[in-house]
Amino acid sequence: MKKKENNLEKNISRLVKLTADSDKPSEAFTESLIDEALQELEQAGQGRSREGRKIDMKVTYKTLAWAAVIIVACGVIFSMLTPSLQKARRPADMKVAKQVARPSDDTSSLEPAKSTRDSQPSKIEYTEVGKKDDAITPKQPVKPVSTAAKITFTDGTQVALEAPASLRLNAEEKDLLQASRRIKAGEAGQLQSLARTAREVEQLRSLGYAEAPSLRVCLPRQPEPGPGGHRMAHGGTTPPNGEDVDAMFFKNYGVNPFIDTEDDHLSTFATDVDTGSYTVCRGFLQDGHLPPNDAVRVEEFVNYFDYGYAAPQEDVFSVYAEAAPWKFGQGRKNSYLLRLALKAQQISEENRKPAILTFVIDVSGSMNRENRLGLVKKCLRMLIKQLKPEDRIGIAVYGSRGRKVMGHKGLYEKDEILATIESLHAEGSTYAEEGIRIGYEMAEKAYKKGYINRVILCSDGVANVGQTGADDILEVIKKKAEKGVTLSCLGFGMGNYNDVLLERLGDKGNGYYAYIDTIAEAKRLFEDNLTGALQVVARDVKVQVDFSPDVVRSYRLIGYENRDVPDDKFRDDKYDGGEVGAGHSVTALYELKLWPGKSGTCATTYVRYKDADTRAVTEFKSTIGTDEFGESFDESTNEFALAATVGEFAEILRASYWAKGAKLDTVLARAQKLSEEFKDDADVIELVDLISKAKSLIKDTQETGTDSAEQSDFPE
């Protein structure tokens, strides 16, 4: 009995020592300790007899003392285990949804044939000026609390939990084992299984899982309401752009007014070759809906089309200018339309610089809509076919968290690249800030001087974890472009889409912004004009037009509201301009009112830009006089008429103040006539269809008397 007493006292001593430790005893140890103590008590009771055996009162007192101590010890152990048991308890209705993007190999598309058009560039005069190269380290982003179910490993690696929709996280081991089989081997180091206790690890090993490292499962938190009380559509804790709902996001930049030249004769803007607004609005119209007014940016409509400008043979840019009388809207008198354009030098595919491309792909739950992620995969497969042997591709993704999935690889590892692309699947909420930061880190490590070093973001733009607004995320990439790593944004999806974020990131990242809604649009970007999309020939391009107060009474720039540059910043080379790729063109439209009977130089256009490689600054100018104006609009070139038609269509769609009295009937009739001149241009043919759709939708809106403020101001 002495031995048993010593064992019991030893166990109690161990328990007391452990309760004083800052670390709690393991579940396995506490269970074994309770079993051993109860065993001691049971064996001690076997020496007593109910049949008249003499009872040693001394032993009885000791037994009672032991029992009391054991009861107290059990109480201590129970109080220690109760919080952890409550913490481990899962709500029965908490589920993790599985979302799968099914790949498709459909790469059929329409390849429009462009007609050859004749235009004469304006005379330009060059002036060489200074040089610039700055770099500033970005601010570290704030780490938010993750809201998606994820697994955290001993090495700190985290992956989102992929499981059937019917899986309950508090289910028996069978459900946990089924969930473990759905986690792909290699997604996070050596993980091949899911377990909560050491016993489950052993069971998993017995089923063939050789390695089951310790880990914990972090449950998703129910999304918090936004400022307006609305729930996040796809999880997350922060509404995109600080708004109260996460649906479609566009920004109203206003409409440029008429400006009297006696008040301000200078008009300054940064070039813009983005086309996202046009393709987004095209998607609305093709789906039978009028686009929101704020979705329409006139310059992106105009710059979507090819006007056949001839590329320069020796210089970086050619300049084009044309003007003619213009009738648009109601009560217009003394109105002229001026078209100014730049055409960048062309670079053949053979002479394109090698590229190091880092794709940052949104794999959040919202990307599982409308086969968005599937379209991204098609684009990447299409791009790989166009790459050269020295090109490299790396891939980072972000859902609830950002992570690197593939280091930069060349075409000799094509099969591995394709396998990585196919393995992408949608999951969780949208931590765009972290994904972009990881992509930049990868791009900087792989950076090579003399190469195209580009980060390409593929997303619907709806960030809902961490920093979600354009201004906040811009802090992550601020000044990165000055180091030679640029950012381009490719938008995908409709119905839950953030145009504001993608458009601003593309501009400030010294890249561009395009929206891809079909495989045909992907072909236009990745096959027909890959060199122009990748290789920049001029950086920080700014345009300043000096209107002669003696000839021009007033003017208004049509579009470019969000690309405005203060006049005194034109020659400030620290001030951001636009980037122009090889073979790209930039077109701007002005409406002018002239002084009666006055003639002479109407406008002097100054263009200032940095060399893409040396950052040396060049400025040149070109002029246009009233003697170069056309006699009538009907006598202007077809290209001039096409730009005017597209601009008028956009002005009406966005319900511009200056479109009052303008009729889509007139715009449609001119577009139909132009389609005969550009019968081989699929974009012009499509334009006719879009104007016709818009005309019908506006008519239906007016007949039904819609209450929508965005749609009530459309001209008849």
Helix (H) or strand (E) holding 442: helix 432-445
Residues 6 or more apart whose Cβ sits within 8 Å of residue 519: 106, 107, 108, 109, 375, 378, 382
Residues 329/517, Cβ–Cβ less than 8 Å: no
- In the prediction, which pLDDT does 499 show? 78
Residue 187 lies in a domain: yes
Q: Which residue type occupies 492?
A: F
Over the chain, what is the mean pLDDT?
A: 74
Residue 320 lies in a domain: yes
- In the prediction, which pLDDT does 649 show? 97
Whether residues 656 and 566 fall in one domain: yes
**Final residue of a domain: which of 88, 113, 137?**
88
- In the prediction, which pLDDT does 6 show? 53
Is the pLDDT at 709 greater than 90, yes or no? no
Q: For residue 652, what is the domain's CATH number?
A: 2.60.40.1230
Helix (H) or strand (E) holding 279: helix 276-286
Mean pLDDT to the nearest integer, 607-615: 93
CA–CA distance, 216 with 197 (Å, rounded to integer): 9
The confidence band for 641, taking pLDDT boundaries of 50, 70 and 90, is: very high
Whether residues 635 and 579 fall in one domain: yes
**Final residue of a domain: which of 62, 88, 114?**
88
Scanning 498-618, the segments in alpha helix (DSSP H) are: 499-508, 519-523, 530-534
Is the pLDDT at 205 greater than 80, yes or no? no
Give phi and psi for 550, each to the nearest 5.
-75, -20
**Final residue of a domain: which of 88, 107, 131?**
88
Distances (CA, A) of 553 to 121, 209, 259, 333, 350: 26, 81, 9, 13, 49
- In the prediction, which pLDDT does 250 show? 81
Whether residues 545 and 679 fall in one domain: yes
Is the pLDDT at 140 greater than 80, yes or no? no
Highest mean pLDDT pick, 73-77, 349-353, 705-709: 349-353
- In the prediction, which pLDDT does 34 show? 57
Mean pLDDT to the nearest integer, 395-424: 91
Whether residues 323 and 174 fall in one domain: no
Quote the domain boundaries for residue 336.
263-272+286-296+306-347+537-704
Domain count across the chain: 3
Decide: helix, strand or coil at residue 125: strand
Helix (H) or strand (E) holding 33: helix 27-45
Ranking 24-38, 131-145, 151-165, 466-480 by mean pLDDT, the lowest is 131-145
Is the pLDDT at 198 greater than 50, yes or no? no
Q: What is the pLDDT of residues 158-193, one digit of tens each?
A: 544 443 333 333 444 444 444 444 443 333 333 333
Whether residues 211 and 291 fall in one domain: no
The confidence band for 195, taking pLDDT boundaries of 50, 70 and 90, is: very low
- In the prediction, which pLDDT does 567 show? 97
Whether residues 267 and 199 fall in one domain: no
- In the prediction, which pLDDT does 261 show? 97
Residue 206 lies in a domain: yes
CA–CA distance, 490 with 361 (Å, rounded to integer): 10
Ranking 32-41, 265-274, 325-334, 356-365 by mean pLDDT, the lowest is 32-41
Whether residues 547 and 683 fall in one domain: yes
Mean pLDDT to the nearest integer, 152-161: 48
The confidence band for 539, taking pLDDT boundaries of 50, 70 and 90, is: very high
The residue with greater pLDDT, 187 or 346, is 346
Residue 17 lies in a domain: yes
Residue 709 lies in a domain: no
* End-to-end C-alpha distance for the chain, whole angstroms: 104
Measured at the CA of 582, the angle between CA 581 and CA 587, to 5 degrees, comes to 65
Is the pLDDT at 380 greater than 70, yes or no? yes
Whether residues 68 and 160 fall in one domain: no
Whether residues 312 and 184 fall in one domain: no
Is the pLDDT at 462 greater than 80, yes or no? no
Mean pLDDT to the nearest integer, 474-499: 74
- In the prediction, which pLDDT does 306 show? 95
Whether residues 201 and 267 fall in one domain: no
Residue 563 lies in a domain: yes
Residues 683/305, Cβ–Cβ less than 8 Å: yes
Residue 196 lies in a domain: yes
- In the prediction, which pLDDT does 699 show? 84
Mean pLDDT to the nearest integer, 185-213: 43
Question: How big is the chain by its Cα radius of gyration, in Å?
Answer: 34
Residue 473 lies in a domain: no
What share of the chain in percent tops pLDDT 70? 60
The confidence band for 705, taking pLDDT boundaries of 50, 70 and 90, is: low
The confidence band for 460, taking pLDDT boundaries of 50, 70 and 90, is: confident
Whether residues 318 and 207 fall in one domain: no
Give phi and psi for 176, each to the nearest 5.
-65, -40
Is the pLDDT at 107 greater than 60, yes or no? no
Q: What is the pLDDT of residues 432-448, one digit of tens each?
A: 778 888 999 899 999 99
Highest mean pLDDT pick, 8-17, 294-303, 707-716: 294-303
Is the pLDDT at 67 greater than 50, yes or no? yes
Q: What is the pLDDT of residues 255-298, one digit of tens each?
A: 999 999 999 999 999 998 889 899 999 988 998 999 999 999 99
Whether residues 577 and 679 fall in one domain: yes
Residues 115/53, Cβ–Cβ less than 8 Å: no
Is the pLDDT at 142 greater than 90, yes or no? no
Mean pLDDT to the nearest integer, 500-512: 77
The residue with greater pLDDT, 539 or 371, is 539
Q: What is the pLDDT of residues 572-602, one digit of tens each?
A: 999 989 999 999 999 999 999 999 999 999 9
- In the prediction, which pLDDT does 69 show? 63
Ranking 58-62, 372-376, 487-491, 648-652 by mean pLDDT, the lowest is 58-62
The confidence band for 4, taking pLDDT boundaries of 50, 70 and 90, is: very low
- In the prediction, which pLDDT does 202 show? 52
- In the prediction, which pLDDT does 232 show? 42
- In the prediction, which pLDDT does 18 show? 47
The residue with greater pLDDT, 483 or 137, is 483
Question: Whole-model pTM?
Answer: 0.67
The residue with greater pLDDT, 78 or 351, is 351
Ranking 164-173, 390-399, 449-458, 668-677 by mean pLDDT, the lowest is 164-173
- In the prediction, which pLDDT does 525 show? 87
